[in-house]
Amino acid sequence: MPPHKNQSFAARLRFARAGIVHGFSTERSLRTQALALSLVMLALLIIQPAPVWWALVIVSSAAVLAAELFNTAIERLADHLHPELHPQIRVVKDCAAAAVLCLAVGAVGVAVALAVQVIRR
């Protein structure tokens, strides 16, 4: 087995932290999504919805951030393996970006549903 496999939990946390730091330092869209999450969390603190709304917002937001990180990883790998423009690489990158968009639309759907719930109170 390669020596980089089966690292300690602390080492894996350091790897994950490095990925998050890299993502935030290089990806404007990730920073934008994180800012949106911060604003939504502030709104949740103000309106104090039921715990299920907290869970829905946190899960959908975490999914969007994770998708952004996956998208970044796919783009970096694709660019490393094939730095020239290539139609198939473009498809890979477009699909990864589309996955982020799908999750972001779902997160907006959660926000709209929450807003409707708050308005009806």
Read off the pLDDT band of 1 (50, 70, 90): low
Spatial separation of the C-alpha atoms in residues 92 and 75, rounded to whole Å: 8
- The angle at the Cα of 12, spanning 10 to 18, to the nearest 5 degrees, equals 105
Band of pLDDT at residue 39, cut at 50, 70 and 90: very high
d(C-alpha 67, C-alpha 76), whole Å? 14
The answer to whether residue 12 scores a pLDDT higher than 70 is: yes
Report, as an integer, the average pLDDT of 70-89: 93
CATH number of 9-120: 1.10.287.3610
Indicate if the pLDDT at residue 4 is higher than 80: no
